[in-house]
Each structure stands twice: as structure tokens, then as C-alpha cells.
Homo-oligomer: A and B are copies of this chain.
Amino acid sequence: MQNKFTVTPWEVSGEVDYDKLIKEFGTKRIDPTLLERIRKHTGTLSHFLRRGIFFSHRDLDWVLDEYDKGNKFFLYTGRSPSGPVHMGHVATWMFTKWLQDKFNVELWFQFPDEEKFLFKDELTLEDTKKWTYENALDVIALGFDQKRTHFIIDTVHANLMYKEACRVAKKITFSTAKAVFGFDNETNIGSIFYTAMQSVPAFLPSVLEGRNIPCLIPHAIDQDAHFRVSRDVLPKLGYYKPAAIHDMFLPGLGGMMEQGKMSSSEQHTAIFTTDSPAVVREKINKYAFSGGQATVEEQRRKGGNPAVDVSYRWLTFFEEDDRKLKEIYEDYKSGKMLTGELKAVLIEKINAFLKQHQEKREKAKKEIDKFIFKE
């Protein structure tokens, strides 16, 4: 049996083999020694680390070396605003917030509002402006510390960014861009330039403070291509290579084998932060791929298969309590828990989260201006 999968900034499909990805991309697995080093600073370990959801890194050990020497890193992550935020985005940012809280560091959050405009025919800059606002509310709602969190919007902060992007761009040939991103002669010249803008937040704080500051980028591994380029170019400009920590994809409700990651464009199989409790219930009940048996009797007899069950996989992202998760795992596997019951647990978990999130999202409308970086 052959598993084919694709992981690029533009496409994630197939059943992703993360071991193979680590090899192909040349990243490193987060091993027990590294986990122990993190735990020394953070006391406990986030469930995203305990369960290997954040599984891979580049130079995270070096970032900790520098931290130990008193040279604090800053965090950089972002969101290309082109549609509503789904639970996959939320997971990456929850962990980012954990890092901010535990290490007491600055976070630079980029909204590259030109990216999807350049890459997608049908999107306008007016669309991406609207989505920047909507997505920013979600980020704020997750509780990032306003004093240490700085939103950078590419078209709004171009005075800061374009000049620095030109410094990066001068070091990247079309040849390189073609090889890394798969561009061809029909690619528009804005798309070709774009990666330079995505590199900027990885050293912008160093520019602004006039000293070299380590950068750690928590991100889903599909964005690795951009940061491979950044890591190649930044030392040529006198900055550190940005370090990175990568998470696995939260699968779409359709299942790990069907969909590489949840996608905003596939509305049925994604759960958005603005979905109502009824919609969440319906989507999970109707679409969440089940590892259970065909009938209740069979389930009781043979038990379910958590390894392919999307509801169970989602709970590994959103149920932080290891004891509870273990109980669910055992009950489901033994046949004590039915598919409908497992789905009910997930529905309750997600709806409880979204109830709070949506309230905070409303309040965020008054706070958004404070998060936008001002020179």
C-alpha cells in the first residue's frame, strides 16, 4: 500500500506521514531530552507537546541555549486572512499563547493581507481586509497578552516592511523561488515577491530594537518552505536564522486519510469559530469520520478504532486532561463507548470552548486597535 501525500504552502492532501516529512524537509523531531529542557522552564508541559502534536522543530535547542544565557527570543506567527478561522488555526495559536505565557516573551503576529489576494484569482483586497479584521478578533479572543502582542498587517505596515522585504528579495533569485514554491512563467510577479514579506517579521523586532534577537516561529509544517528561504537569507543580512516549532494538522472532519488538513474552503468538514452550537452538533454528527463499527452490537463486541476516528483525534487537541482522554480512549476501544457518545463528548467540548470564545470575540472588537503595532 502506498501513501501519497503533499505538503506545500498551497496544498496539503493525502494521509500525511510526519516521519517522512521530517526527513524530506530536514527538520528535527522534538525528542524527550528537548521536552525535558522545555519542562525545566515551563513547569508542566502543554498537552500539545506531551502528545507530540507539536512534533518537529528547527533550532529550538539553540533558542533555549540563548534563553538560558538571558537572550530572550520573540515569537512570530501569523494568519493569511482569506476566510473564517477554524479549529485547526485555533490549536496552533493556543500553543503559541502557552509559549508566550510560559516564557514571558513578545509575539509578533502577521496578517499578510496581500498573500491570498495575489494567489487567488477571485479574492479582492477588500475581502482580505475584512478577513483581517474578523481573524484578528479570533486571535485576541484567545487571550494573548496585549502588552506583548503586536499585529503587523502587510499593507498597513508597508512603510516598515517593504524596505526590509527588498533587502530579503535582493538575495532570492527567481530560480530559488521556482524551486522552493513551484512557480512557473505564468505566476504573477506579486506572488513571486511575496515570500520576502513573509520573512520580514522574523527580523523586524531586531531592526526596531537595533540588536539581534532570536526568533521562534510556531507554525503548521506546510509553511516550512517560506521559512527555509528565510533561514537561508537572514544570516546574509546579519540576523539569526529563525527557529521554528511545527505542529501536525488538525484533520478535517472527513478524516485523516481523506483530507490532509482542515480547510476553510470545505465548509462541511471544518468547524469555524463563529459556528453556532447547532451547526457544530450537526457537522460532527453528520461528517466526523468514525472509527466505530457498523452496528451497536458490533461496536460493543469489537470496539472502535481511535487511531482513525476524527472525534477522538480532535479530543487529543482540545481535551487537555490526560486522565479523561485515556478513559475515553479505553472506553471507545473496548466498545463500552459508542460512536454517538464519543461525538457527544467532542460536541460538548467544542461548544463549551466556542461559547466562551464567541463572547471574548465580541469584546475583542473594542480592543483591536491596541493590538495593532504602532511605531
Q: Which residues of A contact B (CB under 8 A)?
A: 114, 117-118, 125, 154-159, 161-163, 165-175, 177-178, 183-193, 195-196
With A187-B173, A189-B172: A166-B125 Cβ-Cβ less than 8 Å: yes
Q: Are B185 and A174 in contact (CB under 8 A)?
A: yes
Q: A189-B177, A190-B193, A193-B192 are in contact. Are A163 and B170 (CB under 8 A)?
A: no
B159 and A186: CB pair below 8 A?
no
* Given known A156-B159, A158-B159, A159-B159, contact A192–B166 (CB-CB < 8 A): no
What distance in Å separates the Cβ of A19 from its nearest Cβ neighbour in chain B?
A: 33
Across-interface contacts of A157 in B (CB, < 8 A): 159
Question: Is B169 in contact with A118, judged by CB distance below 8 angstroms?
Answer: yes
- Residues on B with C-beta less than 8 A from A189 are 169, 172-174, 177, 192-193, 195-196
Given known A-B contacts A162-B158, A163-B114, A163-B155, A173 and B186 have beta carbons under 8 A apart: yes
A300 to chain B, nearest CB (A): 58
Contact call A186/B174, Cβ cutoff below 8 A: yes
Q: How far apart are the CA atoms of A175 and B192 in the complex, in Å?
A: 12
Q: Which residues of B contact A159 (CB under 8 A)?
A: 155-159
Distance in Å: Cβ of A11 to nearest Cβ of chain B: 20
Complexed CA–CA distance, A232 and B173 (Å): 26
Once the chains are docked, how many angstroms separate the CA of A145 from the CA of B9? 50
Q: Which of A158, A165, A178 is packed against the most chain B CB atoms within 10 Å?
A: A158
How far, in angstroms, from A161 to B155 measured CA to CA in the complex? 9
Name the distance in Å between A102's Cβ and chain B's nearest Cβ.
35
13 A-B residue pairs with CB within 8 Å: A118-B166, A118-B170, A125-B166, A125-B167, A155-B162, A156-B159, A169-B193, A172-B189, A173-B185, A173-B189, A175-B185, A189-B195, A192-B193
The reply to whether B163 and A188 contact each other, CB–CB distance below 8 Å, is no
Q: Report yes or no: B173 in contact with A190, Cβ–Cβ below 8 A.
A: no
Are A169 and B188 neighbours in the complex by a CB distance under 8 Å?
yes
Q: Which residues of B contact A188 (CB under 8 A)?
A: 169-174
Residue from A155, A183, A190 whose CB has the most chain B CB atoms within 10 Å: A190
- A120 closest partner in B (C-beta): B170
Residue numbers in B under 8 Å from A174 (CB-CB):
174, 183-189, 192
